[in-house]
Amino acid sequence: MGEYEAAQVVKTLIGKNININGAEVLLIGITFKENCPVVRNIKIVDIERALKAYYIKVTIYDPWANPAEVMHEYWLKCHNETLRESTYDAIVLGVANHEFLELDLSSFKFENAIVYDVKGILKNDVDGRL
């Protein structure tokens, strides 16, 4: 997990004529599995690192993750409180937390933004799935 998903996100961004260099991605979900606070042995970090290799800016959000633990384990900043109103070029769903099913993703997307669902749980407006 990681390189392949990041490449798929990048290909989809390119397909929508979104500039990769400096693109902003919201990575939703960083815990080991859904509805669980464990951040050990997580593979979603590989996607984050692969996206950064393309000079993409990544914001991580997971209400189940402890930001201090994520910082300690992976040196990554993670938000676990309500997301601020901001817009992104892409949203990547990496963990199937039940809260994410109720999240209005349209309020976090630029008009031409993509949604990539690694877990295959979203029903609508998805540009790519694993």
Residue span of the structural domain in which 43 resides? 3-129
pLDDT of 99 over the 60 cut? yes
Instruction: Specify whether the CB–CB gap between 53 and 25 falls below 8 A.
Output: no
Amino acid at 2: G
* CATH code of the domain in which 53 resides: 3.40.50.720
How many domains in the chain?
Answer: 1
What are the pLDDT digits (tens) for 8-56? 889 999 999 999 999 999 999 999 888 888 888 788 889 999 999 999 9
Q: Give the contacts of 59 (CB within 8 A, at least 6 positions apart).
A: 24, 25, 26, 27, 79, 86, 88
pLDDT of 126 over the 80 cut? no
Q: pTM score, two decimals?
A: 0.89
